[in-house]
Amino acid sequence: MTYIITTPLYYVNDKPHLGSVYTTIICDSIAKYNRLKGEKVTFITGVDEHGLKIQRTAQSNGLSPSDHCDVISDIFYSNWNDWNISFDKFIRTSSKHHLSIVHEFYKKVRNSNDIYMGVQKGWYCVGCEEFKDNPDNSSTYQCPIHKKNLEWKNEENLFFRLSKYQKEIEELINNENFIEPKERRNEIRNFVSKGLKDFSISRTNLNWGISVPEEEGHTFYVWFDALLGYISAICLNESNQSIDGSINLGWPADVHLIGKDILRFHAVYWPAMLISAGIKPPKKIIGHGFLTREGMKMGKSIGNVLDPKLLLSKYGEDRVRWFLLKDIILGSDGDFQDKRFVDIVNNDLANTIGNLLNRTTSMSRKWFDNSVPTDINVKEKQFVELSQKTIDNYLKYFDTYSISQACNEILNFAIKINLYLNDEKPWVLIKNTNNNNQVKQIIYNVLESNRLIALLLKPILSDLSNNILAQLNQIEIENENWKDNLNWGILKPGVKLPKPIPIIEKLEYE
Ligand code: MSP
């Protein structure tokens, strides 16, 4: 069994922004988590390169669409490497490989008698690459997302018989597990209950796209083409490069993680297209919220866009990941505030987690021969119980995509251990040699807690996790079974501890 998770395929009209980094970081953590659990994972990302929006962007940059796509796709690819994103497949929809899958798929849908020629009239948002439902004052109406006027279109297009799949789509979206969170599920149920309408899947007057076989002058609608990228990605560079190849390698996807604005395409159009072609729909769609900056929508014109490259060079991946994963509940909107960002990463990572480790390894080295204390009970009951509860909750949260809650589970554990250390005051107890055994026990308990914190952080903050394990001289644990090591009492008494170095520096608020 392969666990398949996907990000959206990002439009190459511009370089990555914080929104794309956000989605990709969430997917990365989920992919890493499942790998640590021992699953085989295929983590898919890539770029959506066709359509009017990209054609126009290339034109305005004085480049051919293909040259423009090469430039921006390279930026996306190297950006994910800079962020240490563990993707397995990176699909470009302008590749020959993808074209052959789109043609293969189209044949299947046509054989199901689900394609016909019709006339498409309506108001189109080029930014969304989507027809809008009869807005009032259409000619002056602006797309709420792109703040641009809609364009009138009236052309002969091929249509897909979406209406035929009303019953199947209703059944699918009635399954509580298919769309998350609940508010998003309700939005889609409401939309579907109004009755599904066929939608156009080809364009005339558009060169930059995949040509429709036997339909002179037609290229595929960019969404029809792009959604298939999820399937073409799986068999990319594999021996059987076909739809069957992807099915054999694990399709359907376990999760499509996307922003709330593109839910209809994923939860309605895409499953219907797949059912028509006799292919299973994805198992789950998660619609995450939107990020704003200091309470405002991020936009070039407002000048408040956060450049991920800058953010990465200034703060490093772990701090940004912690903020995005812990502070924003998956599914809700989130706000990036500079002050809040600095406060959270300083409090959680530097003070609560970093300091706990630093002061305990220092005490242990000073009092116990640069080592983890010996002659202790490695399984004190209250710690076995507390840690087991933390681990169980963390696993439960990660398995149900409640990443923020999983992060809080680690943090709350670290807070409790800090309180324990402060209450026990080993630095006072050590002054009397009669307390030696008690001090050893306290120090062991805190060091062992740090080891567990590092393991729990692993899919979320890999670097910080490794730094903690290195300070505990436990780096070899990485090559062992993560799940088995998620148990209290694995840290061996007597292990040498290296000289403490701060694992994460505090930030100053500018
Ligand atoms: N190309 C399509 C997806 C095709 S998938 C087969 C597309 N691309 S996009 O680049 O415009 O958007 C990619 C993702 O970024 C979407 O999931 C969208 O919701 C997300 N975001 C765009 N702005 C965002 C924020 N400000 N905050 C969070 N995510 C946001 O749509």
88-110 pLDDT per residue, tens: 999 999 999 999 999 999 999 99
Residue 305: per-residue pLDDT: 77
Q: What is the DSSP string of 298-367?
A: --TTTT-PPPHHHHHHHH-HHHHHHHHHHHS-TTS-EEE-HHHHHHHIIIIIIIIIIHHHHHHHHHHHHH
Question: Looking at this protein, which amino acid is placed at residue 499?
Answer: K
| Ligand 1 and 285: CB distance under 6 A | no
Q: What is the DSSP string of 79-107?
A: HHHHTT---SEEEETTSHHHHHHHHHHHH
Per-residue pLDDT tens digits for 310-330 = 999 999 999 999 999 999 999
Residue 163: per-residue pLDDT: 98
Work out the average pLDDT over 141-165. 87
Residue 134: per-residue pLDDT: 63
Residue 137: per-residue pLDDT: 63
Q: Ligand 1 centre from 30 Cα, in Å?
A: 19
| Ligand 1 and 298: CB distance under 6 A | yes
Q: Ligand 1 centre from 14 Cα, in Å?
A: 12
Residue nearest to atom 30 of ligand 1 (CA): 19
Q: In the structure, what pLDDT confidence band is assigned to residue 453 with cuts at 50, 70 and 90?
A: very high
Instruction: Supply the DSSP symbol for 480.
Output: S
| Ligand 1 and 308: CB distance under 6 A | no
| Ligand 1 and 403: CB distance under 6 A | no
| Ligand 1 and 281: CB distance under 6 A | no
| Ligand 1 and 20: CB distance under 6 A | yes
| Ligand 1 and 290: CB distance under 6 A | yes
Q: In the structure, what pLDDT confidence band is assigned to residue 124 with cuts at 50, 70 and 90?
A: confident
Mean confidence (pLDDT) of the chain: 95
Residue nearest to atom 21 of ligand 1 (CA): 19
Work out the average pLDDT over 118-139. 80
Range list of H helices, 402-475:
403-424, 426-429, 436-457, 462-471
Q: Ligand 1 centre from 267 Cα, in Å?
A: 15
Q: Ligand 1 centre from 262 Cα, in Å?
A: 7
| Ligand 1 and 258: CB distance under 6 A | yes
Work out the average pLDDT over 403-407. 98
| Ligand 1 and 10: CB distance under 6 A | yes
Q: Ligand 1 centre from 56 Cα, in Å?
A: 19
Residue 257: per-residue pLDDT: 98
| Ligand 1 and 426: CB distance under 6 A | no
pLDDT of 422 above 90: yes
Determine the Cα–Cα distance for residues 55 and 143; give it in Å rounded to an integer.
20
Question: Looking at this protein, which amino acid is placed at residue 259?
Answer: G
Please give the span between the terminal C-alpha atoms of the chain, in angstroms, as a whole number.
49
Q: Ligand 1 centre from 258 Cα, in Å?
A: 7
pLDDT of 300 above 70: no
Q: In the structure, what pLDDT confidence band is assigned to residue 139 with cuts at 50, 70 and 90?
A: low
State the virtual CA torsion across 314, 315, 321, 324 in degrees, nearest 10: -80
Work out the average pLDDT over 473-482. 84
| Ligand 1 and 334: CB distance under 6 A | no
Q: Tokens for 500, please give them.
A: 């403490």
For residue 144, is the peptide bond before it cis, meaning its omega torsion is within 30 degrees of 0?
Answer: no
Which of 20, 145, 300 to probe ligand 1 with, by most ligand atoms within 8 A of CB? 20
Give rounded-to-5 percent helix, strand, coil for the chain: 50, 15, 35
Per-residue pLDDT tens digits for 168-206 = 999 999 999 999 999 999 999 999 999 999 999 999 989
Q: Ligand 1 centre from 473 Cα, in Å?
A: 42
Q: In the structure, what pLDDT confidence band is assigned to residue 304 with cuts at 50, 70 and 90?
A: confident
Q: Ligand 1 centre from 320 Cα, in Å?
A: 19
Q: In the structure, what pLDDT confidence band is assigned to residue 301 with cuts at 50, 70 and 90?
A: low
Residue 96, burial from CB neighbour count under 10 angstroms (0-12, 13-18, 19+): exposed
Q: In the structure, what pLDDT confidence band is assigned to residue 131 with cuts at 50, 70 and 90?
A: confident
Q: Tokens for 459, please give them.
A: 């899919």
| Ligand 1 and 462: CB distance under 6 A | no
Residue nearest to atom 29 of ligand 1 (CA): 19
Residue nearest to atom 16 of ligand 1 (CA): 259
Element (H, E) at 430: none
Which of 13, 21, 23, 294 to probe ligand 1 with, by most ligand atoms within 8 A of CB? 23
| Ligand 1 and 19: CB distance under 6 A | yes
Does the pTM of the predicted model rise above 0.85?
yes
Closest C-alpha among 22, 27, 21, 25 to residue 6:
27
Q: In the structure, what pLDDT confidence band is assigned to residue 138 with cuts at 50, 70 and 90?
A: low
3-class secondary-structure state, position 122: strand
| Ligand 1 and 335: CB distance under 6 A | no
Q: In the structure, what pLDDT confidence band is assigned to residue 477 with cuts at 50, 70 and 90?
A: confident
pLDDT of 303 above 90: no
Work out the average pLDDT over 53-70. 95
Q: Ligand 1 centre from 2 Cα, in Å?
A: 25
Q: Ligand 1 centre from 456 Cα, in Å?
A: 29
Q: In the structure, what pLDDT confidence band is assigned to residue 135 with cuts at 50, 70 and 90?
A: low
Work out the average pLDDT over 272-288. 98
pLDDT of 479 above 90: no
Q: Is the dihedral of CA 16, 91, 400, 452 positive or negative?
A: negative
Q: Ligand 1 centre from 74 Cα, in Å?
A: 18
Per-residue pLDDT tens digits for 211-270 = 999 999 999 999 999 999 999 999 999 999 999 999 999 999 999 999 999 999 999 999
Residue nearest to atom 18 of ligand 1 (CA): 259
| Ligand 1 and 336: CB distance under 6 A | no
Residue nearest to atom 22 of ligand 1 (CA): 19
For residue 252, is the peptide bond before it cis, meaning its omega torsion is within 30 degrees of 0?
Answer: yes
Q: Ligand 1 centre from 354 Cα, in Å?
A: 34
State the virtual CA torsion across 49, 50, 55, 58 in degrees, nearest 10: 10
Closest C-alpha among 426, 422, 398, 409 to residue 348:
409
Q: In the structure, what pLDDT confidence band is assigned to residue 3 with cuts at 50, 70 and 90?
A: very high
Q: Ligand 1 centre from 10 Cα, in Å?
A: 6
